Structure formats: structure tokens, C-alpha cells
Amino acid sequence: MSGRTEGGAVERYRSSVEAFHFLGLVALLACFSSTPAFAHASDRGHVLLLPTGYYVAGGALAVAASFLVLALLPPDALDRFWRRHLPLVAFGDGARTIVSLISFAGFAILIAAGLLGSRDPLSNPLPLAIWTLLWVGLVLLHGLLGDLWSWLNPWYGPWRIASRVFGRGDGERQDPRLPQWLGYWPAFLLFFAFAWFELIDPAPDDPARLAWAAGLYWLLSFIAMLVFGYRDWSRHGEFLTVFFAMVARFAVVERNEEGRLNLCLPGTKLLSATPLPLSGIAFLLLTLSSVSFDGLSKTFFWLGLFGINPLEFPGRTAMISIGSFGLVLMFVLLAAVFALAVIFGQRLAGGKHSLSNAAGLLVWSIVPIALAYHFAHYLTALLVDGQYALAALSDPFALGWNLFGTADMPIEAGVAAGAGSAWRLWNLQAGIIIAGHMFAVLLAHGFAWRLHQLPARAALSQFPLTVLMIAYTVFGLWLLVTPTAG
């Protein structure tokens, strides 16, 4: 086991949960005695044993109460609330190419470290940089600060140089070269492949295996940008750019067309979004369902469905077919339930908008939920593995270097262990999940008022979607507390 942790624990009532203490101890011993070669970034090192019905009920009531309050508020009150901005500074794109080239150089060093450095995923910087700093830390920064990836991605700088060398000019302003009917389907398929590699592949943390996968993906994306244009491919094919741009719409910092940064309320840019096509709806739902399945796939409940003893976890290789089935099933179920909620809501309100238009607009309310799940699901991985990343980056090739003075830093794994720390983490995780769903209800009401002129109809249209969000709140909190294996 890599020692990665996830989840939470709180103070236990000794008189009522002694049996659960024993079960948790046995589960932990079984996890440490299992033999998969590498562990995943979200593996959990402890189990929450205190009855959490109060948290689950409180979260469901909080989401339901937010719906009732919003249903009584006039639309113009919330419209004035969302329009508040605080101007900050303005800057141009002059340094964007340089920043991207620096990012590309760092990426190339990480690939070399993956191929030539330590085989230990907690000592090699490549797995830590991709699974912890990029997929956890940078996603959360986008939800807070906006679209940093448009500057930090390792393609823009090399593409600008290649475009000038081959005389292609500024491809960002060229006519679209991708067929319009493709929409976001290339990004959808690539994100599914990414999620499969992260969640199902037997060794996603193996530095050499990850180096080949990441290097090949960079090369294929770079070729696609040269063929279809940077703007077209990055906005519809490169899944990281698509995902980061969607998440960045929730940020409290926005950049307008003149290059000025403004401080705004969370979700302001989401409310101004245009409806997504079917491919965009599928992409957003896949991002949420994949993180949800990551938590579900290791639960005693899921393993029990297939007759697997969670205390004798067979390893990721033996779970490939089950995991692949579950990843697809989770997406299909979420998509079906979301579609039904939108259909019933439109019928309740007597709306005349098409299903695709209503769903394409309302699906944007999924963004705060996806961010909340990302935060809660990977929080402890970020706290612990983030320290390993700082140490590994100082010595990328395991040659005894100390480039940033962090190579010998002590790893404080206790930040996510112990009753006190785990209690605080659990409350933070639970609070973020509840807040994410409440924001989703708030945004969904804003979208509903764009679809329906009468406030009563707007509120009616949101009732099925609110029920779905309440159910997903309960599901998310359950995932945090249920015993897991593997």
C-alpha cells in the first residue's frame, strides 16, 4: 500500500461501537496485507464508525430548505445578488507562450523522471504530480481562481512555435476545422479513457507506465492541434482543457474580454453560460459519475454485490471487468436520472422548451456538485500525498538532489489520522458536499428563471431536480462513511 488516505473518522461512543472497532481493525489489517502493486490516490486508511444519520439527515434537510427559500424569493433579488463584481487588475496575454513553454519543460522533466527515476510511486514525482497536484490540487484551484490551465497547459507554447515554423499563422483565429456534429464527444471519449486508466487499470501509479501514457497523450493532442487548430481541439477534444474551463466558471475570479480580473460571487459565470449540446451534457455527467464510482467501487456494499469478500480484496487486476462495468453503469444511471428529473420538471411547469435546451442549461448546476465531490473525495490524498510531491520534486531522479530544499522534509501523515484530525476532516468534507448541493440548487433556480417567466413555474420545474440533489447528498455522505477495502 502506498499509504494514501481518504475519508474521515470522528470520536467513537465506546459503549455502542466496540464491535465496529474490531471490524475496522480487521479491515485495515486486510488492506495492508493485500498485494496489489500500486494503490490509488483515493485509498482510505480508516473508516468512520460513529453513527452519521444526523449528518445525512441534516444535509438532506439543508438542501431541501434551500429549495423552499429560493422558491419564495423574487427572481430580481437573486439577479441583483449575482451581478455584484469587484474590479481587480488587468493584464494581457503577452507572457502566455512563455508560461506554457516553462510548463512543457517541466512536463518533459516529469516524463523523464517517470522513465528513469525511482519505481516507488511515492518517491517518483510523475505520479504525484499528475494524480495529486494536477488532478486534485489544480482542479480545486480552478474552482476558486478561474481558468489557470489556459496559461499552464504544456501545448500552447509548443503549438505557437510549430505554427510559426510551418507558416500556419495564428490558428486560434482560423475557421473551425472539426465537424460541428462532433461537439464534445472527442473530449468525452478521452476523459472516459482517462477515468478508466485512473480507476480500473492495474497500475496507474507505476511511473514508467504512467510516463508512456502521459507522453503519448501529449503527442496525440499536439498532432490534433496542428491538424484541427489549437482553439478547436482544445475546446472540444482535449479533455483537461474542457474540464478546467467548465469548472473555472464557478470561480470567484473572472477575466473579461478586456483582460481585467474581477472578483465575483461563486457561480456567477455559470449563470451566463449557454446551453450545452448533448455531448457537453454527457461530458459533465461523466466527470461527476467517475468520481462517485471511485468512492463506490471500494465499498463493502459494491464488492458484496459480486460475491467478493472485502477482507480478502483480490486486487485491481481481478476487478477489471467489474470495474469497467461499474464505471459505465454509474454514468448511465446518473444520466438517466438527470434526464428524468428534467423531463418531469418541464412537464410540471408546462414548459415549452425542448428537452435538449432545458437539460443543456440545467446541467451547468452539476459543476458545484462535481467540485464538492472532488474536494471531499480527494482531500486527504491532497494533504498527505501533497507532502510526498514536494519531497519528490526536489529529487526527481532519485540521485540525492535537493533542488527546492524539500527532499528530506518529514511527511506528516498524522494530518489525516487520529480521532481529532479525522473528526475535523469529516466535518469539512460533509460541509463541502452539502454546500455544493445547496449552490447547485441556487444555480438551478437561476437557470429555471431563464426557462420559465413565471416564478411559480420555475419553482415547480426544479422540484424533481431538487429531489435528485437531495438523494445525491445522502449518497455522497454515505460514501464518506461506509467501510471500504482494496
pLDDT tens for the chain, 486 residues: list them.
Answer: 333 333 333 333 333 333 333 333 333 333 333 333 344 444 444 444 445 665 666 667 777 776 666 665 665 666 666 666 676 776 667 789 999 999 999 999 999 999 999 999 999 999 999 999 999 999 999 999 999 999 999 999 999 999 888 876 555 555 567 888 899 999 999 999 999 999 999 999 999 999 999 999 999 999 999 999 999 999 999 999 999 999 999 998 888 766 778 888 888 888 889 999 999 999 999 999 999 999 999 899 999 999 998 888 888 899 999 999 999 999 999 999 999 999 999 888 877 778 889 999 999 999 999 999 999 889 988 999 999 999 999 999 999 999 999 999 998 877 766 667 777 888 888 889 888 888 888 888 888 888 887 777 878 888 888 888 888 888 888 888 788 875
Q: Flag whether 1 is in a domain.
A: no
Q: Flag whether 84 is in a domain.
A: yes
β-strand partners of 263: 86, 253
Number of domains comprising the chain: 1
Q: Flag whether 334 is in a domain.
A: yes
Q: Flag whether 40 is in a domain.
A: yes
Give the pLDDT score at 218.
Answer: 98
**CB count in 10 Å sphere of residue 173:** 8
Residues 6+ away with beta carbon under 8 Å from 200: 316, 319, 320, 323, 324, 327
Chain centroid to CA 327: how far? Answer: 15
86 φ, ψ (degrees, to nearest 5): -130, 110
Give how far Cα 299 sits from Cα of 40, 310, 418, Å: 14, 8, 21
Give the pLDDT score at 234.
Answer: 95
Q: Flag whether 6 is in a domain.
A: no
Give the pLDDT score at 76.
Answer: 63
**CB count in 10 Å sphere of residue 450:** 16
Q: Is the pTM of this model over 0.75?
A: yes
Q: Flag whether 8 is in a domain.
A: no
Give the pLDDT score at 424.
Answer: 82
Give the pLDDT score at 460.
Answer: 84
Calculate the CA dihedral of residues 298, 303, 304, 309 and round it to 10 degrees: -100
β-strand partners of 299: 484
Helix, strand or coil, per DSSP, at residue 229: coil
Its domain, for residue 403, covers 16-481
Q: Flag whether 440 is in a domain.
A: yes
Q: Flag whether 3 is in a domain.
A: no
7 φ, ψ (degrees, to nearest 5): 95, -160
Residues 6+ away with beta carbon under 8 Å from 275: 356, 357, 358, 359, 360, 361
